[in-house]
Structure 1
Amino acid sequence: MSEPPAIDPAATTPPSPVEAKRAARSLYWRGWAITQIAEELGCKYSTIASWKTRDKWDEAPAHEKIADSLEARLSTLIAKEEKSGRDFKEIDLLMREAERLARIEKYQATGKEADLNPKVKARHSPEAKAKAAATRDAKRKNCLTEEQWAALEDDFHAKNFAHQHGWWEVRGERTRKVLKSRQTGATWYFAREAFMKARESSLAGEARNQIFLSASKRQALIFRRYIVAWVRKVTGVELKGGLQDAPMIIDMGEGYEPIELHFLSTSKATAQGEHGDFYFDEFFWVPAFSELKRVASAMATHKIYKRTYFSTPSTVTHEAYPFWSGDEWNRGRRREDRREFDTSAKALATGAHMPDGSWCQVLTLQQAIAGGMGGLFDEDELRQECSEEEFRNLYGCEFIDDTESSFPFSILNPCRVDSFYAWKDYKPAEARPFGSKRVWLGYDPDKGGRDGAALVVIAPPDTPGGTFRLLQKVPLRGMDFEAQAKQIRRIASQYNVEDIGIDTSGAGQAVWELVVKWHPTARRIDYTVSSKAALVMKAQNVIRNGRFEYDAGWHDISSAFMAIRPALTKGQKHVTYVSGRNAAHGHADMAWAVMHALINEPLDAGDTTQTQARVSFSR
């Protein structure tokens, strides 16, 4: 027990009854005896003893006794005229302890944890709850706010051209079929339309998944790229998922079902088992269309789901042609029940319903230009770059009659593969896409400014008689010979290049002279009637024997090969090969570039004891 301090009674002012009582209690809790307290305060022993009993000083809780001591010590320190640094530190510590004791007292009265812990109280404040909700939304995967959805909707409608506005107006049609010109923004539009339809269907309480079908996985992922880039640009949100076989799942917000976006290739292994609205991209170019259509249609069996088929035209012999022309629908019906399908560009310029209930449209380049896309095209330039027949096919939506082609679609179709799954050793996103494996390059030049130049990367077979693979294609339109040579060198730096075949027609001679400086063994190919025949025969042999593969989404490769056909020379004495009915042999540049690489293999690939004689194809 501490000794009472020495006090001069004459110098001390007698305390009031309330102050005396508080002082007596404080001294008692600090261990003073009642006798000492009475002497210190000048009070009667019996008075202090009565206060002790009546107020139950011995039964007071510990925190109350501690609070009293803190208060006494704080009063002493604060009353000091001269304070040291240690005094200020002690005052700060005692104030914090007093605050803690006050929270304890409040907690004992209310039982609320928030009164005991300030962090808990902060978490339960309206401001904290709002902040926490915003943080949760930010952390939710693929989740957009109402404001972000509104911004996307405004941007969607603001960026559409007239024909795309028309497609939006008929988005509720059960089945849509669109035959379109190239480069009219169909894939870009339908990717965005599907995203907006996902939101629309979710708000309506009938959440519909969106499914994208393309000839290959790489082609299907173009839809994903358009969606991701669009959402990032407008909202800043980076959507995740959908790169492999799993879908991209969009969180539609509290109270709404999530929407799945599936990006599938048109193979039986992947294009089945899902359900929702589907978009069948370039359906005129997929192999085994009839079977795949049955698989795809099963995804949209329920009447709430919508089906959209869109494509550039391929050939009249393709399996999808009867589906478009109405022959499939009329097949097996009695003559009086058959109906005419007018699928001409004139009849379907703005779209119309067909007897099978589908809504169909033919969108030519001229219609797209009239609808606001004029600033994106130079029609005269496109006509100069193509033969009239090619222009009508590519931009006028006319089907190809490939019965006279040197490479009909029937022999090209087996060459088309889903490279995403088939070529595990090729990784196009990496700096060295094919590692250290060897490749051959083929180059076809611009022959006078009317057509484009092209470069291809071919993976030759590992063993004689094996399969060639077209890994990469690079259009070189609009470049002079020096810029083209630089592009060839840039591409070559990414691969282990074993051979380069260069057609020396037109600008090709200048390109070859530049390339041979850094690749001395580059082959020059001088075009003659016999050399062109050798190129075509070699390619035909490779293709007919199933020794050539390219990605199924590369329709320009199919078109380029189908454009090549035999024709008589001007003297009517020899057969040559042209890629336009006006003998404009500079067309189909991608196909010729492929052939310039393939010809590096001996014509008799199975006989490894022979070497190929090269006269026109010299080093």
Structure 2
Amino acid sequence: NGKKRKQPQKNHLDDDAVEKLEKAYFDGMFPHQKVWHDALKYEIREILKSRQIGATLHFSREAIVDAAKTGKNKIFISASKNQAQVFKRNIINFVRETTGIELRGDPIVLSNGAELHFLGTNKNTAQSYSGDLYIDEYFWIPNFVDIEHVASGMAILDDRRITYFSTPSTINHQAYSLWDGSHYNQDRPKAEHINIDVSHKALKDGRLCEDGIWRQVVTIEDAINKGYSLVTMEKLRKKFPPAKFENLLMCQFIDDTASIFPLSELQGCMVDAAFIWHDYQPHKKRPFGNKPVWVGYDPSETQDDASLVVIAPPQSKGGKFRILEKHSWQGMDFDGQANSIKKICERFSVAFMAIDATGVGAGVYQLVKKFYPSVKKIKYSVEVKTDLVLRAKQFFSKKLIEFDMAWVDLAHAFMTIHQTSTQSGRNVTYRASRTSKTGHADLAWAVMHALDKAPIESADQVGSGKKSIMETF
């Protein structure tokens, strides 16, 4: 008949699709997530939460259902652009699996006009939007005050909401004044000051606090006791060393006041890698092409992960070391660990590799030496450990090393390293809580093993007009 077939609207969710999404959203909700949904009536929600309880997934679904129903914009800010993309993938997968519709675009613009923006923490990219705001892992975002100032402007209208949720970092983080309510007291007369009880006992069930913010603390134990069935306490206690378990799963803040690597220093090295590392493409067969990398490996102990990092040394004078990848493996025998390292060598041009060959590491070292003969054996002693820590301290304190903002576990590992004395009391040494009670900080040691290639004095040469680091090797 000559008539053109009408093209379907892009990202169109009709009434039937919205109904399916809403039903799936409620049907897939665990009891602890239902509490978050019920708190939607409040303008600001602030949640201190355990890892692995489905917060990012829940808020992804909450956002797309509401955007489809109301046409309101949604803005997602995470510690890095890569982390923000987790929201996007969750939303696309949820809509596809529930309705068969494939959402496209970045931002995603629904046919009803709702825009879904997925942002890192670059405040220049975050200040021109308006809508309901979700800020993920806000206790790990550097320069949080700047981001919070810009972000709160996005949700300034009465019908806009802000949801902050995160695992805890340290009480010295800029976000803590928002959490404990002391931000409210700033520039107010003393008679108007408030004192908010932010203990787990006070906030376990969620509470609208004196500053108008609804707060909740949700530990992994709380979620399980309410009916969360996807994890078990027994397995998690085996998987996570106690110090990491308390911080990441039981909502305990880290005391980094005695740490050799305080969070404030580490944050100077945390970057939004997806924005600035254009020569690293993680999904390619050769993510870094033929450029040289250094590999550090920390073998597994009884209850620890075996951890490996891939570091790109500076390519020119004034450049920085970049921690491109991190891997943690659990439950592998020596052969399994060696094979995993071999796969890394197949993906990268490994110019240097160092392995802790103290104790159980000796077996892994011998197997790796068969396919990478130049691997360096690190045998721990007070002197060796001191050298490793001080070298790393140089690079972090001078901001000559970078890693992705979303790598909370790496930051945590470094924060647990502190100075102590040897058993004899005669010497100073450094421990990263390597006992069965406090964990291992394996990722931090892996980084330090890789940096064993870099002379400690080279940290003073970068950008100084002297020879570059690459010229010293």
TM-score by length of 2: 0.93
SS of residue paired to 2:369: helix
* 1:382 counterpart = 2:242: no
In structure 2, C-alpha distance between the alignment counterparts of 1:372 and 1:468, rounded to whole Å: 45
In structure 2, C-alpha distance between the alignment counterparts of 1:497 and 1:161, rounded to whole Å: 45
Partner of 2:456: 603
Alpha-carbon deviation of 1:298? 0.6
SS of residue paired to 2:453: coil
Equivalent residues in 2 for 1:294-373, closer than 5 Å: 294-373=149-228
Partner of 1:225: 89
- Structure 1 residue identity aligned to 2:389: V
In structure 2, C-alpha distance between the alignment counterparts of 1:275 and 1:478, rounded to whole Å: 47
Aligned partner of 1:187 among 31, 53, 56: 56
Alpha-carbon deviation of 1:240? 1.2
In structure 1, C-alpha distance between the alignment counterparts of 2:214 and 2:148, rounded to whole Å: 17
Distance 1:330 1:506, change over 3 A: same
Partner of 2:138: 283
Residue segments in structure 1 that go unaligned for 5+ positions in a row: 1-118, 124-128, 202-206, 252-256, 612-619
In structure 1, C-alpha distance between the alignment counterparts of 2:403 and 2:353, rounded to whole Å: 19
Q: Does the CA contact (< 8 Å) of 1:272 and 1:295 recur in 2?
A: yes
In structure 1, C-alpha distance between the alignment counterparts of 2:55 and 2:332, rounded to whole Å: 28
In structure 2, C-alpha distance between the alignment counterparts of 1:381 and 1:326, rounded to whole Å: 35
In structure 1, C-alpha distance between the alignment counterparts of 2:346 and 2:144, rounded to whole Å: 39
In structure 2, C-alpha distance between the alignment counterparts of 1:168 and 1:214, rounded to whole Å: 20
* 1:250 counterpart = 2:110: yes
Aligned partner of 2:319 among 459, 462, 466: 466
Instruction: Quote the RMSD (CA, aligned, Å).
Output: 2.1
In structure 1, C-alpha distance between the alignment counterparts of 2:230 and 2:148, rounded to whole Å: 36
Alpha-carbon deviation of 1:604? 2.2
Alpha-carbon deviation of 1:373? 2.0
SS of residue paired to 1:599: helix
Equivalent residues in 2 for 1:207-226, closer than 5 Å: 207-226=71-90
* 1:169 counterpart = 2:42: no
Name whichever of 166-175 and 232-241 sits farther off. Answer: 232-241
- Structure 2 residue identity aligned to 1:417: V
- Structure 1 residue identity aligned to 2:401: F
Alpha-carbon deviation of 1:384? 4.4
Alpha-carbon deviation of 1:584? 6.0
Aligned partner of 2:267 among 407, 413, 423: 413
Alpha-carbon deviation of 1:507? 3.4
Distance 1:348 1:610, change over 3 A: closer
- Structure 2 residue identity aligned to 1:193: E
* 1:507 counterpart = 2:360: yes
Alpha-carbon deviation of 1:230? 1.7
Structure that is richer in helix per residue: 1
Aligned partner of 2:405 among 542, 547, 552: 552
Partner of 1:590: 443
Alpha-carbon deviation of 1:148? 2.7
Q: Does the CA contact (< 8 Å) of 1:345 and 1:362 recur in 2?
A: yes
- Structure 1 residue identity aligned to 2:36: W
SS of residue paired to 1:403: coil
Q: Does the CA contact (< 8 Å) of 1:390 and 1:580 recur in 2?
A: no
In structure 1, C-alpha distance between the alignment counterparts of 2:202 and 2:370, rounded to whole Å: 57
In structure 1, C-alpha distance between the alignment counterparts of 2:403 and 2:260, rounded to whole Å: 18
- Structure 2 residue identity aligned to 1:340: N
Alpha-carbon deviation of 1:382? 3.3
Name whichever of 175-184 and 388-397 sits farther off. Answer: 388-397
In structure 2, C-alpha distance between the alignment counterparts of 1:396 and 1:581, rounded to whole Å: 20
Provide, for residues 316-341 of structure 1, a one-character-per-residue CA deviation record: whole Å limited to 9, x for no partner.
11111011111111233333221220
Aligned partner of 1:576 among 426, 429, 454: 429
In structure 2, C-alpha distance between the alignment counterparts of 1:153 and 1:361, rounded to whole Å: 24
In structure 2, C-alpha distance between the alignment counterparts of 1:320 and 1:192, rounded to whole Å: 26
TM-score by length of 1: 0.72
In structure 1, C-alpha distance between the alignment counterparts of 2:128 and 2:318, rounded to whole Å: 38
In structure 1, C-alpha distance between the alignment counterparts of 2:224 and 2:49, rounded to whole Å: 13
Partner of 2:380: 527
Equivalent residues in 2 for 1:420-439, closer than 5 Å: 420-439=274-293
In structure 2, C-alpha distance between the alignment counterparts of 1:360 and 1:491, rounded to whole Å: 43
Q: Percent identity?
A: 43
Aligned residues: 464
Q: Does the CA contact (< 8 Å) of 1:445 and 1:506 recur in 2?
A: no
In structure 2, C-alpha distance between the alignment counterparts of 1:388 and 1:511, rounded to whole Å: 25
In structure 1, C-alpha distance between the alignment counterparts of 2:270 and 2:144, rounded to whole Å: 13
Alpha-carbon deviation of 1:171? 1.6
In structure 1, C-alpha distance between the alignment counterparts of 2:278 and 2:259, rounded to whole Å: 33
* 1:455 counterpart = 2:316: no
SS of residue paired to 1:171: helix
Residue segments in structure 2 that go unaligned for 5+ positions in a row: none
Partner of 1:34: none
- Structure 1 residue identity aligned to 2:164: Y
In structure 2, C-alpha distance between the alignment counterparts of 1:183 and 1:610, rounded to whole Å: 40
SS of residue paired to 2:65: helix
